[in-house]
Amino acid sequence: MSKKIKSEKKVKPKKISQKEFEKKVIELANKGLTSEKIGEELRQQGIHPKEYDKKISKILKDKYIIPDLKNVEEKLERVKKHYEKNKQDKKAMREKDRIFAQFRKLKNYFKI
């Protein structure tokens, strides 16, 4: 007989105020988490982002830079660093060009 093993314990949902929610999001962003990871972390703590007025990315956009742009910029830096070490890696060169184009499009879209 096989038994189901629960990997996670269910956390009872917490209800906090909108201001506390925004503070929590900013606190997690200061740790260096992306908006996706912030959502995961909040859900693990029993706080569901859908219950609040503002989206996580909107809070970050008001307070800091645009999260999408930040993520693409970090990815571009990682690929550039890899390509500098491995000049023979043609896939990395193509990926670097593709991500740079994506970054440029996002900058143009957000008018930065």
Tens place of pLDDT per residue across the chain (112 aa): 555 555 556 666 777 888 888 899 888 888 888 888 898 999 998 888 888 888 888 888 887 777 788 889 999 999 999 999 999 999 999 999 999 999 999 999 888 7
* pLDDT score for 89: 95
* pLDDT score for 53: 84
Are 28 and 59 in contact, with CB atoms under 8 Å apart? Answer: no
Are 83 and 96 in contact, with CB atoms under 8 Å apart? Answer: yes
What's the predicted TM-score (pTM) here?
Answer: 0.61
* pLDDT score for 6: 54
